[in-house]
């Protein structure tokens, strides 16, 4: 990263934000023009290489996006369901081929056939209503199963604005230190995949001296198969916002930023309306809360880049820089957004703070296992009889999720990728031995991650699937470190060639490549992609050995 660019970008604060302006300049044509990039560079005292380098990275700002009118989901769940070719053919009846782009993923994994037109997402039977959607701008509310095993925490009923925020007075009376200790008692670990304790992050930021600090909600839920964050943003927005306010109070941060995927347009509008509701009721803003604590929100619409799920790439993105991963240390809690102390947590983690504050950290810590406390949202794709979002206590057997909550599979399934594209590929034979917690998955060579489940059906080639994973990884690499930039591309070339009937993969060379990615990559993007590949080679050896030499 460039500290100077961070400082220059931060001169105008969050209201006059460079990344926002890049997005606005792309809205009309799908990409900003050269003159606008030069103007923004001058306004922020930056070189045009910075503004062009940033704009050319994102799916919805890069020059190739010019003139796009419709987008097709190319996520793993839709791929395995085999629905997207029909979607593309139907869209071609309404649009020219060059007007159709792609999105990954729209969070419609429960019914597939997902596509996006004019700021709205569609899925399921919507593709058969395409003329009405195009001509009448028709929209449809999305529906899926929502349930739980045990007492719900995150999906508990919303009690109304006044009651929901009434406990803030207790928070302000208790003081920052006492609230932090309550959060630490809960042993809540990050739900974005890494499982890092939120209490540690908050304490580190709290202890770093600065007049300006930030709380960032990482709502760039890019894992294909995952839509639990979307559920919370759209159905429990005030749990997320409450959690950010509490995190801000504990650390001394007065600014909360929600970085929400462009692929989730409905979530953006719902969150913006919820923030306005807080303003209208004098719950947030300057000189509110009887002088105890001021807090303001900023919503930033992302522009299509999976790597922004990594916290330092996300920070670079907000600054208007190319979203490349930063070298650590320094860590964001000491030097983050605009070089100020910053806490970044995902949607589900922040939403969990409401229950912890309401019922106490000790009560929360009684849920789950010894090292994995609390509950977890799990997403089930369309191969289940009851696809949807389910809340389970950590430690719940995977068999309960699959057979009881999900109602079993609709058709024969041979494997499940759990935890996104960097998560493990779990053979169905492991359903009876795994439980939903960090340790169970790690001990058996998998990764819980976001806990989304994408099913690989019996008739879907496993070589085709791992080729898809490498293709995803090389496309979404930020390019900063060469093991990931080159390694993911080489992996894609090797697997694609073998699958199409070309040269067989040299097994020794292939494992060298995986080791280089695993040990040499700067972040979990390149470092994580070997895991599902190795799982596939281990558990589907009979199917894959024909491609290896």
Per-residue pLDDT tens digits for 225-272:
999 999 999 999 999 999 999 999 999 999 999 999 999 999 999 999
Instruction: Say if residue 206's pLDDT is above 60.
Output: yes
Query: What angle in degrees, to the nearest 10, is found between the helix axes of 347-359 and 237-251?
Result: 80
Residue among 374, 356, 375, 372 nearest 182 (CA): 356
pTM for the full predicted model: 0.95
Residue 3: predicted pLDDT: 77
**Domain count of the fold of the chain:** 5
C-alpha pair distances (Å), 516 with each of 26, 113, 488: 37, 36, 10
Q: Cα–Cα distance between 349 and 386 in angstroms, integer? A: 25
Same domain, 286 and 427: no
Q: Cα–Cα distance between 224 and 219 in angstroms, integer? A: 14
Task: Give the CATH number, domain containing residue 380.
Answer: 3.10.20.600
Domain that holds residue 525: 462-547
Residue 31 forms part of a structural domain: yes
Please give the backbone phi and psi of residue 369, each rounded to the nearest 5 degrees, phi first.
-105, -175
Place 138 in a pLDDT band, splitting at 50, 70 and 90.
confident
Residue 198 forms part of a structural domain: yes
Same domain, 130 and 250: no
Residue 294 forms part of a structural domain: yes
Instruction: Say if residue 290's pLDDT is above 60.
Output: no
Residue 285: predicted pLDDT: 77
Residue 471 forms part of a structural domain: yes
The side-by-side arrangement of strands in the sheet containing 388-393 is 145-149, 388-393, 375-380, 452-457, 413-418, 424-427
Residue 370 forms part of a structural domain: no
Which of 340, 365, 390 lies at the terminal end of a domain, its last residue?
365
Kindly report the average pLDDT of the chain as a whole number: 94
Same domain, 274 and 398: no
pLDDT digits (tens, 9 = 90+) for 144-162: 999 999 889 999 999 999 9
Same domain, 532 and 520: yes
Same domain, 528 and 442: no
Same domain, 221 and 291: yes
Which of 365, 393, 423 lies at the terminal end of a domain, its last residue?
365
Residue 429 CB-half CA count within 13 A? 6
Pairing of strands 120-122, 375-380: unpaired
Same domain, 269 and 349: yes
- Confirm if 421 and 456 have CB atoms less than 8 A apart: no
Task: Give the CATH number, domain containing residue 32.
Answer: 1.10.10
Residue 502 forms part of a structural domain: yes
265 upstream amide cis, omega within 30 of 0:
no
Same domain, 30 and 158: no
| DSSP-based three-state secondary structure for 340 | coil
Residue 318: predicted pLDDT: 97
- Confirm if 114 and 71 have CB atoms less than 8 A apart: no
| DSSP-based three-state secondary structure for 378 | strand
Mean pLDDT in residue range 383-402: 98
Same domain, 135 and 207: no
Residue 160 forms part of a structural domain: yes
Residue 9 forms part of a structural domain: yes
Residue 275: predicted pLDDT: 97
Same domain, 259 and 156: yes
Task: Give the CATH number, domain containing residue 191.
Answer: 3.40.50.11540
Same domain, 386 and 410: yes
Task: Give the CATH number, domain containing residue 532.
Answer: 1.20.1440.230
Same domain, 158 and 265: yes
Which of 143, 170, 191 lies at the terminal end of a domain, its last residue?
143
């Amino acid at each position: 990263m460039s500290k100077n660019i961070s400082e220059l970008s931060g001169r105008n604060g969050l209201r006059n934000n460079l990344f926002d302006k890049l997005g606005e300049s792309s809205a009309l044509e799908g990409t900003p023009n050269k003159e606008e990039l030069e103007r923004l560079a001058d306004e922020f005292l930056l070189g045009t290489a910075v503004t062009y380098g940033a704009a050319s990275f994102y799916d919805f700002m890069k020059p190739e996006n010019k003139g796009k009118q419709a987008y097709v989901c190319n996520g793993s769940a839709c791929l395995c369901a085999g629905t997207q070719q029909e979607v593309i053919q139907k869209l071609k009846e309404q649009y020219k081929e060059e007007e159709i782009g792609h999105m990954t993923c729209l969070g419609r994994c429960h019914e597939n056939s997902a596509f996006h037109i004019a700021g709205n997402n569609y899925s399921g039977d919507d593709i058969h209503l395409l003329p009405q959607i195009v001509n009448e701008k028709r929209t449809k509310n999305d529906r899926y199963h929502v349930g739980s095993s045990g007492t719900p925490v995150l999906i508990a009923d919303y009690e109304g604005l006044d009651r929901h925020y009434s406990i803030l007075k207790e928070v302000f009376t208790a003081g920052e230190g006492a609230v932090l200790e309550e959060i630490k008692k809960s042993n809540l670990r990050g739900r974005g995949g890494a499982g890092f304790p939120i209490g540690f992050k908050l304490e580190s930021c709290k202890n770093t001296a600065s007049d300006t600090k930030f709380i960032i909600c990482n709502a760039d839920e890019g894992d294909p198969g995952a839509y639990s964050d979307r559920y919370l943003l759209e159905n429990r927005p005030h749990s997320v916002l409450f959690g950010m306010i509490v995190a801000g109070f504990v650390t001394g941060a007065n600014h909360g930023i929600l970085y929400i995927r462009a692929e989730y347009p409905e979530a953006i509008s719902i969150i913006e309306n919820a923030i306005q509701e807080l303003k209208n009721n004098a719950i947030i803003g300057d000189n509110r809360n009887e002088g105890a604590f001021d807090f303001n929100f900023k919503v930033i619409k992302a522009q299509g880049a999976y790597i922004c799920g990594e916290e330092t790439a996300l920070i670079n993105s907000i600054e208007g820089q190319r979203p490349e991963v930063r070298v650590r240390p320094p860590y964001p809690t000491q030097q983050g957004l605009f070089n100020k102390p910053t806490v970044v947590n995902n949607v589900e983690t922040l939403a969990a703070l409401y229950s912890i504050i309401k019922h106490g950290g000790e009560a929360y810590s009684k849920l789950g296992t010894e090292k994995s406390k609390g509950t977890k949202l799990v997403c089930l794709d369309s191969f289940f009889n009851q696809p949807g979002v389910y809340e389970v206590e950590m430690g719940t057997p995977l068999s309960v999720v699959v057979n009881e909550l999900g109602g079993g599979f609709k058709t024969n399934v041979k494997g499940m990728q759990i935890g996104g594209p960097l998560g493990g590929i779990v053979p169905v034979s492991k359903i009876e031995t795994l439980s939903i917690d960090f340790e169970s998955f790690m001990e058996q060579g998998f990764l819980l991650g976001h806990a989304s489940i994408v099913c690989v059906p019996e008739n879907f080639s496993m070589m085709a699937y791992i080729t898809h994973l490498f293709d995803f990884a090389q496309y979404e690499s930020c390019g900063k470190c060469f093991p990931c930039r080159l390694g993911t591309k080489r992996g894609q070339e090797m697997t694609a060639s073998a699958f199409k009937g070309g040269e067989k993969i040299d097994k020794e060379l292939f494992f060298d490549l995986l080791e280089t990615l695993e040990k040499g990559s700067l972040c979990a993007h390149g470092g994580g992609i070997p895991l599902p590949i190795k799982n596939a080679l281990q558990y589907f050896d009979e199917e894959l050995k024909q491609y290896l030499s």
